[in-house]
Amino acid sequence: MNRPLVIVLDDSQHVARQCADWSGLEARADVRFLSQAFASEEAVAAALADAEIIIPTRERTAFGASLIGRLPKLRLLALTGGRAQTLDLAACTAAGVIVSNTGGKHVGAATAELAFSLILANARSLPQADASMRAGGWHEGLPLGDVVAGKRLGIVGLGKLGQRVARYAKAFEMEVVAWSQNLTTEAAAAAGVAYVGKDELFATSDVVSLHLVLSERTRGIVGEAELAAMKPGACLVNTARGPLVDEGALLEHLRKGAINAALDVYGQEPLPRDHPLRTLPNVVLTPHLGYSAAPVLAEYYGESIENALAFLDGKPTRVMNPEVLEGRKA
């Protein structure tokens, strides 16, 4: 009897196996771990052609309708995390593919902590200091650092993540203001921060941190006008999604030295080796580490294994498209 094939995708840090106990699943299925990003949909389809169960890591590989249609053996997509905007759930449902998800109780803390780490890294020029030390240097050529106490942090998107970052900032004695398309003065006050208009936020903040979900309404929400309005030397922090920002406009302002940036997310991921962002001294870069922390991945992979085993038992759990199950009953 052929054993089902389970493919774990996007394990770019080679940590999936150590984050959870795979023995129960490996006793019942062949489990393969893939680490490299795919160059094209054709490459994805070829690599996953025989998989019955796929466990992707968040949104690192997109599963659109075209790809779903090219995976005839796929029966379960065991998503890590609560949702993925690059997953076409309707296409999965139409193809009879069950989609399950996981919790994410540590994600907010992991991402918010990284965002504030980027704020501090920019303020104290930590990447340059580290590079100087490793090259045998000391103070030579290093810019003077700044302090964040007393500075204004502008938060774009005051949801759970934005509110957490606001609390961190207040602990560091920063003034905090916020704006989003749906935010009200009352909601901002309830979170302990001041509501300001979008123009004022970008024009007066020393640091602007983005915490919005990417959608057609928010794509490019930070464009030329917003970047041009920022104070000289102000820092744009993005741990949300790359396409929230007009990358061309951002590069222009960074090259001029008008502003700084601290980025964890990009329009294209992985960021190409020859991307100009990698060459700019006024940018702190991390490789989309927001949720990539041990407690987060332990929960993601642990619950994905549970979902895969439940599916093999004929009792799928955490199902995002239960209509597939109803169709099978009918």
pLDDT tens, position by position, 144-182 = 999 999 999 999 999 999 999 999 999 999 999 999 999
Domains of the chain: 5-103+294-329 (3.40.50.720), 107-285 (3.40.50.720)
241 is catalytic: yes
Q: Which of 111-115, 127-131, 222-226, 325-329 has the lowest mean pLDDT?
A: 325-329
Confidence of residue 103 (pLDDT cuts 50, 70, 90): very high
Residue 330 has pLDDT above 60, yes or no: no
pLDDT of residue 112: 98
Catalytic residue among 58, 75, 253, 288: 288
The burial class, CB within 10 Å (0-12 / 13-18 / 19+), for 130 is exposed
Confidence of residue 2 (pLDDT cuts 50, 70, 90): confident
pLDDT of residue 329: 53
288 is catalytic: yes
Give the model confidence (pLDDT) of 243-290 as tens digits.
999 999 999 999 999 999 999 999 999 999 999 999 999 999 999 999
Beta carbons of 100 and 318 less than 8 angstroms apart: yes
Mean per-residue pLDDT of the chain: 95
Nearest-angstrom CA–CA distance, 291 and 68: 26
Mean pLDDT, residues 178-202: 97
Q: Cβ atoms within 10 A of the Cβ of 69, count?
A: 13
Helices 160-171, 107-123: crossing angle, 10 deg rounding: 40
What distance separates the 2 farthest-apart alpha carbons in the chain?
Answer: 73
Residue with tokens 């054993």: 3
pLDDT of residue 74: 98
Beta carbons of 4 and 55 less than 8 angstroms apart: no
Length of the chain: 330
Residue 233 has pLDDT above 90, yes or no: yes
Mean pLDDT, residues 293-315: 97
pLDDT of residue 60: 87
- DSSP H/E element including 234: none
Confidence of residue 84 (pLDDT cuts 50, 70, 90): confident
Cα dist. 98→53, 106, 231, 305, 311 in Å? 10, 25, 49, 15, 9
Nearest-angstrom CA–CA distance, 10 and 59: 9
Residue 59 has pLDDT above 90, yes or no: no
Residue 214 has pLDDT above 90, yes or no: yes
Catalytic residue among 152, 164, 241, 253: 241
Mean pLDDT, residues 103-124: 96
Catalytic residue among 41, 269, 275, 318: 269
Residue 192 has pLDDT above 60, yes or no: yes
Cα dist. 200→59, 99, 266 in Å? 33, 42, 26
Percent of the chain scoring above 70 in pLDDT: 98
60 is catalytic: no
